[in-house]
Amino acid sequence: AIYILNDEGKIIKSSGEDEDSKTVCSVLHNLVVHTRGAVRDIQVEDRLKFLRVRTDKHELLIAPEQVDGKYTLVVIQDPSKKH
């Protein structure tokens, strides 16, 4: 699934959306906000460019604020599938 989120974590475009998607994207937006803060705590001049999280069932690829600092790209894929 592919999602584009606004700066508030709301889905503005997606490859498929349901109620679970809204919850997942809200949680991922919070993850980005906290990770961004952690990166700045470590090195003030640094900033988060990309975040990859892999679990047993999913791989989350997150590119925060790539266009004018307003949008975040989220890709959720099954890491066990061969492409």
pLDDT digits (tens, 9 = 90+) for 24-67: 999 999 999 999 999 999 999 998 999 999 999 999 999 997 66
Write the CA distances from 82 to 41, 56, 74, integer angstroms: 38, 15, 20
pLDDT at 17 over 70: no
Name the pTM for this structure: 0.87
Residue 72 near residue 79, CB atoms below 8 Å: no
Which of 4, 20, 18, 19 is CA-nearest to residue 71?
Answer: 4
